[in-house]
C-alpha cells in the first residue's frame, strides 16, 4: 500500500498551496524532500533511486521544445507593455458596432489573437484587464460581465495553437505515449506536437464560437455607448498585426512553421513594432527583460520541482498503484477514462494548468493510454479540462488574477453567474469531444495506427499492466 502514499503527497501540496500561498515549486520540492527522507528512514524507498535526478533534469532541459518557453514569455511581456492591444481593440469594436455588443465581442477577439502568443494566462489577464476593463466600464457594461469577458478572453489562447500550455502539454503527452507504447509494444507512431495542434483546432473553433454567442447574448441588451472611430494609424496597425498573427498561428497549426520559429518571429515583430512606435524605450526594455527572466525562471523552477516530485511518487510506486487501480476497474476502457476525467477535474479546482501538466499528467495518463491508445483524443480531452480549470471559481487562476485588477468590486457570486454560460460552453465542447472522437482532425498515419491498435482484450490489457509493473520495478531496483 506504499503506492497510496503518493496521494497523500498530492493532498499535502494542494493543502499547502491553498493555506500558505507559497510558490508551487518550493512546495513541490519541500513535500517531495520530506516524504523522500521519511521513506528512506523507514526503508520504504531506496536512496539510490534519487541519484537519477541529475540525469532526469538534464535530459528534460535538453528538449528543443523548451526553447519556446522564454520566447513566449518575452512576447507576453512585450504585449503587456506595447500599445498593440489598444489598436486592435479599438478597430475591432468599430467593426462590430452593429452587433450591439461590440466591446465584449472585440475583447474576446483580442483574446483569440493575442492570448496564444502571451506565454501564460497570468500575462493575458494583466494585458487584457488593463486594455479592456476601463473601456468596458466607460461603455456601461456590467462589472461582472466585464470581468467574465477578461477571464474568458485570457484563457482562450490555451486551446488555440500554438499556446505555451499546448506546447508543454504536447511534450508531456509525448512522454506518456512513449511509456504506454513501451509497455504494450503496439505498432503505432508516437504522438507529436503537430498532432495535438491539429487535434485541438476543431474543438477550439467550436468553443470560440460558443463563447462569442454567450458574450453577445449577455451584453446585447445593454445601453452601451457607440465605439469611437479609430485613427488611421490604429487601423493600419490592426490590419498589419492581425494579418501577421493569423499567419503565424496558422503556419504553426498547419505545420508550415515550428512553434519555436513562430515564437521567435513574433518576438522580433513585437520588438520592431515597439521601436517603430517609440514605445519601447531603454527603460521599458530593461523592465521587459527583467520580467521575462523572472517569469521564465519561475516556470523552469516549477518544471524541475515537478520532476523531483514525480520521481518521489515513482519511488513509492504510486504510478504502478494507479495503473493497477485503473486495471481493476470494471466497465473496460470507458470506466478508466471516466475515472481519469473525474480526477483531472478535481485537481483542476486547486492546481493550475502548468502544475497539472508537470505533476498530474505524467502519473495518470500513461496507464490510461495503455487502455485507450488514441493519444490525440486523450490529449484534447486533457487540454479542455486544463483550460476549464482557469475559470472555475473560486480557485481558477484567471478568476483569482482578475480580482486584484477590477475597477469596481465584484462579488464572487456575481462573477460566477457571469462566467456560468462560458463554463457551460466549455462543458458542451468537452462532452462533444468525449462522445465524438472522430470530430478531431488527425494525421492520416496516426489515425490509421491508432485505429489498428484499439482492439485489445482485457487479458492483453492486464498482461500489459503486469509487464509495465515488472519493468518499472526492475528499473527502480537497478537504479
* Integer Cα distance of 316 and 31 in angstroms: 14
Q: What is the pLDDT of residue 392?
A: 83
For 457, counting Cβ atoms within 10 Å of its Cβ (0-12 exposed, 13-18 middle, 19+ buried), the class is exposed
Q: What is the pLDDT of residues 195-224, one digit of tens each?
A: 888 899 999 999 999 999 999 998 887 556
**Phi and psi, residue 137, nearest 5°:** -65, -40
Q: How far is CA 478 from the centre of its chain?
A: 35
- Give the whole-angstrom CA distance, residue 406 versus residue 401: 10
pLDDT of residue 213: 94
Grid cell listed for 323: 495503473
The stretches in the chain having pLDDT less than 70 are 1-3, 119, 187, 222-225, 350, 443-479
Task: Write the CB contacts of 241 (distance below 8 Å, at least 6 apart in sequence).
Answer: 84, 87, 88, 113, 273
The pLDDT value given to residue 452: 43
Is the distance from CB of 16 to CB of 27 less than 8 angstroms?
yes
DSSP symbol at 142:
-
Q: From 35, 118, 135, select the one nearest 81 (Cα to Cα).
A: 118
Give the closest residue to 337 by CA, choosing from 441, 466, 433.
Answer: 433
The pLDDT assigned to 475 comes to 44
Nearest one of 218, 242, 220 to 102, comparing CA atoms: 220
Note the pLDDT of residue 427. Answer: 92
Q: Where are the beta strands (DSSP E) in 67-122?
A: none
Amino acid at each position: 500500500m506504499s503506492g497510496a502514499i503518493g496521494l497523500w503527497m498530492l493532498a499535502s501540496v494542494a493543502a499547502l498551496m491553498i493555506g500558505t500561498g507559497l510558490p508551487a515549486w518550493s512546495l513541490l520540492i519541500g513535500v517531495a524532500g520530506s516524504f523522500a527522507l521519511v521513506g528512506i528512514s523507514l526503508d520504504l524507498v531506496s536512496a539510490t533511486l534519487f541519484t537519477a535526478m541529475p540525469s532526469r533534469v538534464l535530459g528534460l532541459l535538453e528538449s528543443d521544445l523548451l526553447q519556446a518557453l522564454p520566447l513566449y514569455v518575452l512576447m507576453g511581456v512585450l504585449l503587456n507593455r506595447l500599445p498593440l492591444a489598444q489598436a486592435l481593440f479599438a478597430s475591432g469594436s468599430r467593426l462590430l458596432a452593429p452587433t450591439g455588443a461590440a466591446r465584449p465581442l472585440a475583447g474576446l477577439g483580442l483574446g483569440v489573437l493575442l492570448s496564444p502568443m502571451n506565454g501564460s494566462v497570468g500575462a493575458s489577464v494583466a494585458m487584457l484587464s488593463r486594455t479592456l476593463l476601463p473601456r468596458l466600464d466607460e461603455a456601461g457594461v456590467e462589472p461582472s460581465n466585464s470581468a467574465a469577458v477578461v477571464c474568458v478572453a485570457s484563457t482562450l489562447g490555451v486551446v488555440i495553437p500554438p499556446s505555451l500550455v499546448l506546447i508543454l502539454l504536447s511534450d508531456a503527452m509525448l512522454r506518456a505515449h512513449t511509456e504506454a507504447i513501451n509497455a504494450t509494444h503496439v505498432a503505432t507512431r508516437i504522438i507529436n506536437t503537430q498532432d495535438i495542434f491539429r487535434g485541438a483546432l476543431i474543438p477550439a473553433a467550436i468553443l470560440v464560437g460558443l463563447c462569442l454567442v454567450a458574450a453577445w447574448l449577455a451584453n446585447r441588451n445593454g445601453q452601451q455607448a457607440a465605439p469611437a472611430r479609430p485613427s488611421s494609424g490604429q487601423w493600419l496597425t490592426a490590419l498589419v498585426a492581425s494579418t501577421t498573427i493569423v499567419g503565424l498561428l496558422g503556419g504553426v497549426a498547419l505545420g508550415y512553421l515550428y512553434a519555436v520559429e513562430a515564437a521567435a518571429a513574433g518576438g522580433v515583430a513585437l520588438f520592431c513594432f515597439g521601436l517603430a512606435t517609440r514605445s519601447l524605450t531603454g527603460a521599458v526594455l530593461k523592465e521587459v527583460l527583467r520580467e521575462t527572466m523572472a517569469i521564465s525562471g519561475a516556470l523552469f523552477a516549477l518544471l524541475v520541482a515537478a520532476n523531483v516530485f514525480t520521481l518521489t511518487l515513482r519511488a513509492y510506486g504510486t504510478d504502478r498503484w494507479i495503473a493497477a487501480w485503473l486495471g481493476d476497474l470494471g466497465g473496460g476502457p470507458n470506466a478508466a477514462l471516466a475515472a481519469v476525467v473525474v480526477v483531472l477535474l478535481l485537481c483542476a479546482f486547486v492546481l493550475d494548468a502548468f502544475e497539472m501538466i508537470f505533476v498530474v499528467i505524467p502519473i495518470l495518463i500513461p496507464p490510461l493510454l495503455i487502455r485507450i491508445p488514441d493519444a490525440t483524443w486523450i490529449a484534447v480531452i486533457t487540454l479542455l479540462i486544463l483550460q476549464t480549470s482557469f475559470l472555475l471559481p473560486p480557485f481558477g487562476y484567471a478568476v483569482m488574477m482578475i480580482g486584484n485588477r477590477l475597477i469596481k468590486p465584484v462579488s464572487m457570486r456575481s462573477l460566477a453567474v457571469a462566467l456560468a454560460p462560458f463554463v457551460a460552453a466549455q462543458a458542451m465542447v468537452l462532452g462533444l469531444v468525449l462522445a465524438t472522437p472522430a470530430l478531431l482532425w488527425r494525421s492520416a498515419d496516426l489515425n490509421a495506427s491508432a485505429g489498428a491498435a484499439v482492439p485489445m482484450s482485457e487479458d492483453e490489457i492486464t498482461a500489459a499492466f503486469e509487464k509495465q509493473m515488472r519493468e518499472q520495478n526492475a528499473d527502480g531496483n537497478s537504479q
